[in-house]
Chains A and B, each alone.
Chain A
């Protein structure tokens, strides 16, 4: 049974503001070949509401009656195997008209349900390996909607990308070999706070819009009022917007009819290409998408040929996630280059962006006309989107006052780590007592201790007749049928900061930088289950001031009180950091530790009664031998350009004694990447850590 979205779907035309989101959805309904839309934005901005509401507006199209894949009877080349057979047999296919649908892909879907699998019942009855279609079959010629698409499991993303690239779903599993058409409009929503999307998948979305909360009080009141009316089931409200939705739906149908007649001149095509070149996009998908979108836009706005506005509006939607340079509107009759400049660095003016909305909603009968009018003078909106492009669409966040002076605190995105629970070794069963983690697929296994029932039954089903099972008897299982669940779970990173708190010229900055970096890392910790620990060393000892935690409030409290002063017990610090890592690895061997040393590398207190520098080098060697990932950030202003001891020893052995960079030397010995704190000023520690984790992930 498929999901019905009707009753609780809010009317599309009753959504206040968010014009570019609505426009992007509408354009896709007019020209599905645009390739879908990704809606990025903060929580509670009506992203999902809009997609669900769209379902009611979708046009009708012709399908082959009784076809699982909704084949287009007119498109003989892309028929599924069944339809081909039927066509060959009967010479003609029965036709049926139905509304295009929104098919949902829940993010916890298992692969067999997405791509399709063996039909158990037919296998049981006749022993035949028949294909049972999955979500990708339902999605053919429809909208495939993935809420929180950035949280989709990697293996599902791969499946999606494959199908999206070819328009065909190829299944080779469980003894079934099958291919069927799967062309869908991919619509996804995501909150960038929860992590980014894989670039490959990002590029698959034809258009992209960034949505923000509306700041205008009157608009917000309108939203709340309509929500109350909707919740109450107010008849006036429902009738009003049912009519508006109906009108919009009709306008869409008209536009679909008109698209083919939209004329595009070579000059316009050149303009599109030059916009793409200027935006510095990769590949050519953008050009194609803009071309389709501007045709759809022109048809919707009842233009015979795309106007300059149509082209730029289409480009804005198509380039939001592709442009590496901000989009500029050249030769704009209204003189918008200056206007865009005016708004640079400030929020797009809300009243401007949302002005057209009331007129649209108050006169639902003219909704479509009004909307095209409002879209036409929405030049201002592109300024807002421009801004979104350069900042990656994340909404600005207040930064910490002290750390902000040096470090531009922003949300950083550590790569998401997933690790299959290890099952190797004879004693593996006892080593993985918990069967936690998401069940992603099943596999045959010599010793099955976490049975995948569905896969087991599927494996057994075709054999039942041969094994002599009679109708109504219980299933006859054999060892070879048993399937083990393969589980995956996210593996968090553990980032251990080892920070030099000795008194020196740069002590204060060092601390501020460290605090900034830690907080920045923790901002995303809840998503990744990352944890952060902090070791401080000063005077004669090192102290673990923050035990591994993902709590921002705890970290804030612990770090607030830190003071600097005294000598530099570097060895103590490294040892303490090393111990934290070792302890945590004992608790959970699947974590990925990263040790970050922030110091000038000039220890002057001995721990084992040796020369402090030599001691530190030895501990560094120890850490390297354990292959713990490390990062060294040199807090000394002046030494970072100097060569390390090891390097010097290779190129000029006689200079070993002076002018060395102790910190770079440590870094080499630890096998760590090395950064100067002052080089990082613009770039920040956090993103260095991010890169490090990204590097070692591969």
Chain B
């Protein structure tokens, strides 16, 4: 599902800087693994994700490919592109990275893809009809209220997210195709928790709250009103700042692989993970990538301690074990501050 062209400008969103940063970092380096936005109703979670769509970079894709394969990346091609390539070079085209929505009531066959009804009934042939996971390849996959997603859909999502491949062995079709996406989810924790396995798949996590500052609240209402009465004019007013963020993202994409990741920084990251007693090693990898993306966004040549401290909370917020009824357990902010302070 495409997002409305006239979505609210990203840079017109008041406050919620962490949420915005998390989204931008993922746009720069998709292998950060997406972001989970937790928070109360009406805090601009969905607005921000939709707004991000307009700031995303253009990408080259194989023309007519269901999966948006990259023309220069034969190893990652889908089965169709492989076949087409045998009879000559693939035509390519440029498109903007998109936000693909996964509605929580989506059925499994629509998510993973299914047998093509028409072809089956007309010719009795089993053709594969791609689903949301195909569309999401090389795009953002957005799940509103991700904690309410049916369990079996979550399983499928996890599988695809882990491998970057969607393997379908059902309804008579046997197909696997690339499905690498940036997973962006929102949830209201009051309505139930997220399975830890899925939680861990989100590279970053930010908690958003309603803004308590009176002036800011007023400004939110005013901006909203202006946007609703004249979306075009409102957008024009923000065109410059939007362009600024867009070009920073584009530059970040180009430069982040070259940003130096000193060993001391990696060590710091590891120490934070150890102090916070998180499971596994994904946190280390995500933190390094996020800090690198942040450095690239800031046009730095090397990852500094400040870059780590700016992203650490987002990396660890959802990975620290919560202690029921206890005050004990490591305190996120404290541990990060202490670790960073030692540097």
Cross-chain contact B281 with A225 (CB below 8 angstroms) = no
Cross-chain contact B280 with A43 (CB below 8 angstroms) = yes
A220 to B158, CA, bound (A): 24
Residue on B nearest A114 in the bound complex, by CB: B169
Quick one: CB contact mask for B241-269 with A, threshold 8 Å, 1 for yes? 00000000000000001000101001101
Cross-chain contact B120 with A519 (CB below 8 angstroms) = no
B280 to chain A, nearest CB (A): 3
Cross-chain contact B192 with A526 (CB below 8 angstroms) = yes
Residue on A nearest B270 in the bound complex, by CB: A220
Cross-chain contact A220 with B273 (CB below 8 angstroms) = yes
Residues from 90 to 130 in B contacting A, C-beta threshold 8 Å: 105, 107-109, 112, 114-115, 117, 120-126
Known: A106-B169, A121-B125. A550 touches B284 (CB 8 A): no
Using A221-B267, A438-B108 as known contacts, list a sample of 7 further A-B pairs with CB atoms less than 8 Å apart, ordered by residue number in A.
A44-B280, A105-B169, A106-B159, A107-B155, A191-B196, A455-B172, A551-B191
- Residue A610, interface by CB 8 Å: no
Cross-chain contact A108 with B108 (CB below 8 angstroms) = yes
Cross-chain contact B169 with A113 (CB below 8 angstroms) = yes
Cross-chain contact B266 with A221 (CB below 8 angstroms) = yes
- Residue B42, interface by CB 8 Å: no
Cross-chain contact A45 with B280 (CB below 8 angstroms) = yes
Cross-chain contact A3 with B31 (CB below 8 angstroms) = no
- Residue A53, interface by CB 8 Å: no
Cross-chain contact A400 with B279 (CB below 8 angstroms) = no
A43 to chain B, nearest CB (A): 4
A259 to B196, CA, bound (A): 42
Q: List A contacts of B288 (CB < 8 A).
A: 224, 227-228
- Residue B299, interface by CB 8 Å: no
A45 to B200, CA, bound (A): 12
Cross-chain contact A439 with B123 (CB below 8 angstroms) = no
Residues on B lying within 8 angstroms of A by beta carbon are 31, 75-76, 79, 105, 107-109, 112, 114-115, 117, 120-126, 150-152, 155-156, 158-159, 162-165, 167-176, 189-197, 200, 257, 261, 263, 266-267, 269-271, 273-274, 278-285, 288-289, 321-329
Cross-chain contact A552 with B193 (CB below 8 angstroms) = yes
A128 to B325, CA, bound (A): 66
Cross-chain contact A7 with B75 (CB below 8 angstroms) = yes
One of B117, B281, B326 near A214 (C-beta < 8 A): B281
Cross-chain contact B117 with A453 (CB below 8 angstroms) = yes
A578 to chain B, nearest CB (A): 25
A110 to B31, CA, bound (A): 30
- Residue A461, interface by CB 8 Å: yes
Stretch at the interface among A272-280, A364-372, A401-409: A401-409
Cross-chain contact A108 with B162 (CB below 8 angstroms) = no
Q: List A contacts of B155 (CB < 8 A).
A: 107-108, 148, 151
A232 to B117, CA, bound (A): 42
Cross-chain contact B190 with A458 (CB below 8 angstroms) = no
Q: List B contacts of A460 (CB < 8 A).
A: 124
Cross-chain contact B328 with A398 (CB below 8 angstroms) = yes
A453 to B119, CA, bound (A): 11
Cross-chain contact A490 with B328 (CB below 8 angstroms) = no
Q: List B contacts of A1 (CB < 8 A).
A: 79, 174-176
A477 to B121, CA, bound (A): 9
A550 to B163, CA, bound (A): 29
One of A45, A113, A409, A477 near B172 (C-beta < 8 A): A113
- Residue A135, interface by CB 8 Å: yes
A108 to B170, CA, bound (A): 8
- Residue A2, interface by CB 8 Å: yes
Cross-chain contact A42 with B279 (CB below 8 angstroms) = yes
- Residue A200, interface by CB 8 Å: no
Cross-chain contact B270 with A121 (CB below 8 angstroms) = no
